[in-house]
Each structure stands twice: as structure tokens, then as C-alpha cells.
Amino acid sequence: MRTVPDAIRQKLPHLPDTPGVYLWKAADGTVLYVGKAKRLRQRVRSYVTGDPAETSKTRVLMDHAADLATIVVSSEEHALILEHNLIKEHHPRFNVMLRDDKTYPYVKVTVHEPYPRVLVTRRVLDDGARYYGPFTDVGAMRRALNVVKRVFTVRSCRWNMPAEMPERACLDFHIRRCKGPCIGAQSLADYRAMIDEVVAFLDGKPDEVMRRVRLRMEDASTYLDFERAAELRDALRHLERYEEPAIIVDVGGHDRDVLGFARDGDDACVTLLKVRRGKLLARDQRFLEQAEGESDAAVLGAYLAGSYRTTSERPAEVLLPFAPEDFDVLEPALHPTRVLLPQRGLKRELLDLAEKNARHLLEEFKLAEDETEERAGDPVYELGRALGLAKIPRALVCFDNSTAQGKDNVGSIVWFENGRPRRSEYRTMRVKAVDETHGPDDFASMREVVGRYFRRRLDEAKPLPDLVVIDGGKGQLSAAYEALAALALDALPLVSLAKREEEVFVFGRVEPLRLSRRSPALRLLQQARDEAHRTAVGYNRKRRTIRTITSALLEIPGVGPAKRRELLRAFGSVDGVRAATVEQIASLKGFSAKSAAALREALAASAPDRPTDEPVVPVPAQDTASPDTRLLQAEERDTP
């Protein structure tokens, strides 16, 4: 149990066992965190006990908390609403916040007034008016208002009609932007009918408004009121031009909202696709911040309880990608909107579209904030969601080992950035882990490769990956975890991919994760695994070739690495050294005539039998492009 201030300790025994809201406060009275609870006593005490599984965010919160306040309510639903209102009032440091919550404008229709007006506001009040928004795309809001002003003659004056009526009409009446209800030129019934069309238009039903306008245009033409018919014709053209770019795709069905979710560490984005009468009409988005340590379900729940719940134009149903936190409390709070979690079919396809939009917007936000240099592909997000990662694995590193009959034991490390190989970060190394009885030990090799690689990354202060992938099963996974734990890096997400069944083992989970064979996440893991395997096998083959072609020189006494390099640099290969004369060898650095003659005799004794009539052609001293030379140089540059 952690040490708590006296102000908090004195309140703990008297906490009610009822639904309510609790507020953690700093010493100066600032609200640090607002939370809801089904049972206040149990929830608040869980903070004080210091659960080992709690997040770092909670630990920092409790280090700053100096006081506690609680508010008792009658139900969980009331607690949910009160929590949201308190968060908007206090803006606590540790709560998930809607980014720039007060900067988004709304379109307000004052339907509670006898002669309603259409306004732009940034405050939503419980005054009986209809609010549309928030508009995160201000350009879309201005286009909608422009259509309203051109098509509908809504008054722009501030008179409190009919209590206040001006003596004469304003300029809007004379330029035909208003029909003059203030001077009795337009009846109240006619004005209210026009407002009903404005509301229908803002509700996402422009086709219904166009139908009405077209009927009135035909009636005006029938009665030979051609001036009025021309006005209605122009209004109809404005409506058609507005609708064309707004409709993205015809998706069928009825009115519904589709929510997409994307998450990357402390940042999250929720997109809202508005489907009205089977047509996808608009997209809205909200960014959320301070989500560190919170689950995806908690972040989505914060959006639903806050911004979405207070939206006045919710349709009959809303589609969610997954169940939010406190789903049983949120569902009645969103009534009469039905909450659906589709898994297949057209509705699932709509969710996938919404999630792609969320990923796209979050990537734009990351690029604008200079938090990344390159956009991550969809498979990266899919992999993060499949593995349950809070931060998407923009950078992943994959390990593999290779050996040939117990010799040339090597390891390889490949680095993927935003779903693509980054070959400048590839590494290979010789492995020394050998079991005295059975030869190379695959588990010990993996432990050595992972440990050496990350130790060097730490020493050189290089960035660490977001995900570590191991080629192998549970044994290799455990060995890699031991190496990470020894370096205090056990918090890094760690998985392994087994070749036989393509099972994904996540460290800490008992059962393997089976991804669909068509899953982009699985294909990304397979690509990284295959690339690591290719690199390991290639380096193993290179090591084996080096050992084979230089064995003749290695067996000669007095010829060490420096002399061996000099010989291969000058003559290109072992056969070239055999063909060289004593004088050519003696001219090299480190050799004398005596040592050159001894080398020639030793090589002649180890030379394979040749036909007596086969000529021996010396290799020119300037030939330095031999693969023997390149392989030997690679041996000396063994990394890391």
C-alpha cells in the first residue's frame, strides 16, 4: 500500500458504496483526474493499494494527488454524464481529452423562436435550439451556410419577433435575401415551412428539399409566375451543386453513423461517417490526447460519452469497431440510437472505410507534428490492433539464427520502418553460444544475439523498435525475453512467429494468436521473418565460403590474418598464390625471400593433383576483384 496524504486517508473509511464520481486534486486544489465508479469505495481504494499492474500514468497521478472529492449520484448513467461535464469544466491533466474541444463551430437553428434564425456558434446551450456539428472542417460549414443563404430566405436581423417589429424592411428584403416577415410581407406559416426545409437540408436530406423546390417551381410555371419560377430554378441549381461533391458513395440502407478509430500511443483519432438515406454524405473527425496508459475501449468510451452523446442529430443506429468501456452504461445513455458491433457484411465494410479515414487523418496529424518522417501503411495499423498494442509498430525488428552442421553459427537482424525494409539498419553477427555436449544451442544463440544487439543500441543511444519479432516458437521467445529483461527492456512488445502453423506467440499469453492467412498483419510478420531468414542464411553461406577457401592458408605456420589479407589482396585467391613466384611473394609487406620460399613449398605440398601437361598461369598482382578477397574483407568487418 502506497503512502497517501492525511487528507485522503481520513476520507477513505467514509466513502459510500454507491455509484458516483471522484476527483483527485493537487495540493493547490487543481483537479488532476475525474473518474466515475459503480461503487465509489471499491474504485477509490484500488488507487491507494498500489496495484502492481497499474499503469505509469496512474502512479504519476497518485504521486501528485493531495486531496479527494466525491459526488454521489443515483445511477451509473448519471455518473457517466456528470463525469463528462466535470471534465469539460476542469480540463484535468490526466483525463482523456477531446482535442481543441471548444474551437469547433456549430450551426444553430433557433427553432424555439417564432421566426427562427440560422447562426454560427461555438457554445452549445440547452435552450431548445437545434445544433449541427461540431464542424471540424470549417470549409464544409461555410459551404452549407452559403447554400442556406442562397436558397432559403432566412432572416439575418436580431429583432425579437413578433414582440419587436421594425418600421421598415432592411437591405436584405430589397435584394431578395429576405421576404420581409418583419413587415408582414411573408406569413408566419410560410416562414416556418421554409425553416422546416432548412432543418431537413442540415439533417442531410438535400434530395427531399430539392423535391419540394422542384414542385414549387413547376407550380409557379403553371400559374405563369415566371419570375418566381426562375428564382426556384436558381435555388435548385445551388442545391444540386452542393450535393454532388458531398455524396461520396451510395452504400444502401438507412440513416446511420459509422465510427472509425485509430490509435498511436498518446494520440488517437475518431472519424464519424454520416450515412443518410443510404448515401455517405459527410465525414467528421475528432482528435483525442492524453490517452497514455488508457485502453482503446476507454478512449472510445470517452468520445462516446462526451462529444457523440451530446450530438442532437444522432440517427437510428451507430456502428462501432469494438465495444467501448462501460458499454452496458453507455448503451442506455445513447438511446434511442442503437449501438451495433458488426463483424461481417456491408456494415463491416463501412467500419473498415471509417477506420482507414481515421488512420489517414492520424498520419497527417503525426506528419504535421513532425513526430514521423513517413506515413505508416495499413498493415502496420492492422498488426498493432491484432496484437493489442497501444502504440502502432512503426519500427519493428526481427531476429533469426542460422547454422550449418553445427558450424558457422550466425544471427541476423532486420529492421522494418512503416511496413517497409530499411536495409541500412540490417545487422549480422557471429554467435559464440555452443552447448558442450550437443554443439550449437538455438535458445542460447537467440539470447546472445538479442542481448548483444540491444546492448549496443543502448550504448550508442539509438532509437528502440516498437515491436520485437522472433523467428521461432515459445523457446526462442522466452530466450529473447530473458535477454531483454537483463537490459531492463522487458516492456518492449515481443512476439514470435512459428513457421509450421504460422502461429503468433505473444509473450505473456498462454494461447497462440491465429491470424487469418489473408490478414495484412500476418503478411507483414511473414515478410519480416522471411527477410531475417534470408539474411541469416546468406551470411552463414558467406562465412562457410570464407572458411573453405582460406583453409589452405590457415594451415600454414607463420601466416596470420595480416599476411593472409596481403596475399589475397595481391593474388586474388589461393590458386593465385600457388601460381605466384617467390620473387612476387617476397615483394609483399611482411615477407622475405626465405618466408616466401617456405610458403611456396607448403602450398605445393597441399596442392591437389593436376595433370602434368596443364599449364599454370600466374594471377596478375593487380587483380583485386576476386570474391576471396571480398569475403575475407567481410570477415574482418563482422558486425555488430
Q: What is the CATH number of domain 6-95?
A: 3.40.1440.10
Specify the amino acid at residue 163: A
Of the chain, the end-to-end C-alpha distance in Å amounts to 45
> Looking at per-residue confidence, does 345 or 238 come out higher?
345
Intrachain domains 256-368 and 550-636 with the same fold: no
Tell whether the model's pLDDT for residue 67 goes beyond 90: yes
> Looking at per-residue confidence, does 421 or 438 come out higher?
421
Q: How far apart are CA 95 and CA 92, in angstroms?
A: 6
SS3 content of the chain, % helix, strand, coil (to 5): 45, 20, 40
CA-based nearest residue to 236, from 201, 186, 278, 199: 201
Domain at 383-545, CATH homologous superfamily: UvrC, RNAse H endonuclease domain (3.30.420.340)
Q: How far apart are CA 324 and CA 270, in angstroms?
A: 13
* Domain 550-636 = CATH 1.10.150.20: yes
Using DSSP, state whether 494 is helix, strand or coil: strand
Q: What is the CATH number of domain 256-368?
A: 3.30.420
Least confident of 280-284, 300-304, 342-346, 495-499: 280-284
Using DSSP, state whether 467 is helix, strand or coil: strand
CA-based nearest residue to 232, from 219, 216, 254: 216
Contacts by 233-241, CB closer than 8 A, 24 or more apart: 234/150, 235/150, 235/151, 236/210, 238/147, 238/150, 238/151, 239/147, 239/151, 239/201, 239/206, 239/209, 239/210, 239/213, 240/210
Using DSSP, state whether 169 is helix, strand or coil: coil
pLDDT digits (tens, 9 = 90+) for 522-538: 999 999 999 999 999 99
pLDDT digits (tens, 9 = 90+) for 452-501: 999 999 999 999 999 999 999 999 999 999 999 999 999 999 999 998 78
Spans of all domains in the chain? 6-95, 106-204, 256-368, 383-545, 550-636
Q: How far apart are CA 512 and CA 474, in angstroms?
A: 9
Q: What is the 3-class SS of 104-139, one letter each residue? A: CCEEEECCCCCCCCEEEECCCCCCCCEEECCCCCHH
Q: Tell me how far apart the 2 most distant CA atoms of the chain are, in Å.
A: 127
Select, from the ranges 94-98, 311-315, 425-429, 551-555, the one with the highest average predicted confidence (pLDDT): 425-429
Least confident of 59-63, 408-412, 589-593, 620-624: 620-624
Buried/exposed 242-252: b ≥16 CB within 10 Å, e otherwise: bbeebeeeebe
